[in-house]
Amino acid sequence: MRILFKTNYKQDLNLAKHGGHRFWYGLLILVLFAAPLILGGYYIGEATRILIYAMAGLGLMVLTGFTGQVSLGHAAFLAIGAYTNAWFLAQGFSSFVALPMAALLSMIGGLLVAIPAARMSGIYLAIATLAFAIIVEDFAGHLNSITGGNRGMMVDVPTLFGYQIWESWELYLFVLSILVVATLAVLNILRSPLGRAMIAVRDSEVSSQALGVNPMKIKVFAFTVSAAITGLAGAFLAHYMSFLTPQIFGILLSIQLLLMIVLGGLGTVHGVFFGAVLIGVLETGISIAKDTLPSSIGGLPGIEPFVFGVILISVIVFEPTGIYGRWIKIRSYMEFFPIYRRKSFKRQRTYLKTERLR
């Protein structure tokens, strides 16, 4: 068991709180960047998909996990990012233009949704964002000149300094670097006044106002940041898919994203990554299982939603705090080994009931 001896308030501001953090997170980043040396092309491709999910989940977590605004339409921002990126690349721009434009246009989309959506909450907000996603999907299907409509469009490979990224491991490293930067940005927001204001709006909008927080402004900010990060993820998703059709960005993708952050653990950055890994590995696992199982079982339609549904229900019933919540319990069990008590994580009575997500 580690006892931290704090001598300075600055220690509480550091991202890595102690040597253990520095070592393990450093090792994780090192292993992730070295992964192409070990893993073959197929698994690197799967890992890229997980990273893209993580990036999209990070965007959604900012909005849903930390600001408490449910979005059932995040696939729309993925679509905006994907098509913007693909269009700019097709016009001959490099990724240096295409990626920021993807983030920017998504941001503008986020802003447009946020202005009415910041006045809504709960189920109404979910319906409004869902409607937005359907509108964007429809637009993508009809804007033939830009998106190729329902026939779809090819996506050019990303280019940096005139260098074309063809190899899957190169794309992997590209996505990983941007994801690291995005994660750091989110962590910075969370440890500054803005992040605290977001949590305040999530947990009690009334008292956040009484403390001088403008909930409208915070929600709009959260929507914008969330849309920008998700838009970037969309841009990379375009490269991963290499062929875009509007059907990719349907309601199922939005639900999958939401599922991911709930499974991982709402309101934690760790949860995003746990959720992304779980969903990514499950998808791969299911598709492998489909091939190996006898066709009478493997060929059944709807296995994927079924498995996801079962997992979602069991997580909600047995571990509402998600995988990260469970991990914290396991970790404290090991830290406090002989004296750990299950009661230490027992949920306390809540003394007030207001509308909130967690």
Partner 1 sequence: MNLLEIENLSISFGGVKAVDDVSFVVEEGSVYAIIGPNGAGKSTIFNLLSRFYEPLSGQLNFAGNDLLELRAKDIARLGIARTFQNLELFEHASVLQNLLVGRHVHNSQSWWRQVLFTSSVIEAELEHRRKVEEVIDFLELAHYRNQMISGLPYGVRKKIELARALCIEPKLLLLDEPSSGLNPEETEEMGFWIEDIRRDLNMTVVLIEHDMSLVAEVSDRVLAIVDGKVVTEGDHTFVQSHPEVVSAYLGDVQ
Of 261, 266, 309, which Cα lies nearest the Cα of 286? 309
Indicate whether 348 belongs to the interface with partner 1 (CB under 8 A). Answer: yes
If 0-12 CB within 10 Å is exposed, 13-18 middle and 19+ buried, where does residue 68 land? buried
Q: Is 322 helix (H, G, I), strand (E, B) or coil?
A: helix
Contact 308, 256 (CB under 8 A): yes
Of 318, 274, 267, 294, which Cα lies nearest the Cα of 69? 267
Interface region with partner 1, contact rule CB under 8 A, candidates 36-44, 84-92, 201-209, 237-245:
201-209
The residue within the footprint of partner 1, chosen from 192, 242, 287, 314 (CB under 8 A), is 192
The residue within the footprint of partner 1, chosen from 159, 204, 245, 332 (CB under 8 A), is 204
Contact 145, 250 (CB under 8 A): no
The residue within the footprint of partner 1, chosen from 208, 226, 230, 254 (CB under 8 A), is 208
Q: Which residues pair with 154 in a beta bridge?
A: 243
Q: How far apart are CA 112 and CA 313, in angstroms?
A: 34
Indicate whether 9 belongs to the interface with partner 1 (CB under 8 A). Answer: yes
128 vs 201, beta carbon nearer partner 1: 201
Indicate whether 12 belongs to the interface with partner 1 (CB under 8 A). Answer: yes
Rg (CA), the chain: 21
- What is the residue type of 344? S
In this structure, how many other beta carbons lie within 10 angstroms of the beta carbon of residue 150? 12
Q: How far apart are CA 100 and CA 242, in angstroms?
A: 19
Interface region with partner 1, contact rule CB under 8 A, candidates 142-150, 188-196, 242-250, 307-315:
188-196
190 vs 293, beta carbon nearer partner 1: 190
142 vs 217, beta carbon nearer partner 1: 217
Interface region with partner 1, contact rule CB under 8 A, candidates 24-32, 171-179, 205-213, 229-237:
205-213
In this structure, how many other beta carbons lie within 10 angstroms of the beta carbon of residue 83? 27
63 vs 238, beta carbon nearer partner 1: 63
Interface region with partner 1, contact rule CB under 8 A, candidates 46-54, 182-190, 244-252, 287-295:
182-190
133 vs 199, beta carbon nearer partner 1: 199
Indicate whether 203 belongs to the interface with partner 1 (CB under 8 A). Answer: yes
Indicate whether 332 belongs to the interface with partner 1 (CB under 8 A). Answer: no
Contact 109, 80 (CB under 8 A): yes
222 vs 237, beta carbon nearer partner 1: 222
143 vs 185, beta carbon nearer partner 1: 185
Of 282, 298, 278, which Cα lies nearest the Cα of 290? 298
Tell me which residues in 233-272 interact with partner 1 (CB under 8 A): 267
Smallest gap from residue 71 Cβ to partner 1 (A): 19
The residue within the footprint of partner 1, chosen from 7, 292, 296, 350 (CB under 8 A), is 350
Indicate whether 21 belongs to the interface with partner 1 (CB under 8 A). Answer: no
Smallest gap from residue 58 Cβ to partner 1 (A): 14
Q: How far apart are CA 327 and CA 308, in angstroms?
A: 20
The footprint of partner 1 on this chain (CB under 8 A) covers a number of residues equal to: 38
Cα within 13 Å of Cα(196), Cβ side: 7
Indicate whether 20 belongs to the interface with partner 1 (CB under 8 A). Answer: no
Full DSSP string of 78-130? HHHHHHHHHHHHHTT--HHHHHHHHHHHHHHHHHHHHHHHTT--HHHHHHHHH
Indicate whether 166 belongs to the interface with partner 1 (CB under 8 A). Answer: no
Binding site for partner 1 (CB under 8 A): 9-10, 12-13, 185, 188-189, 191-197, 199-200, 202-204, 206-215, 221, 267, 347-348, 350-352, 354, 358
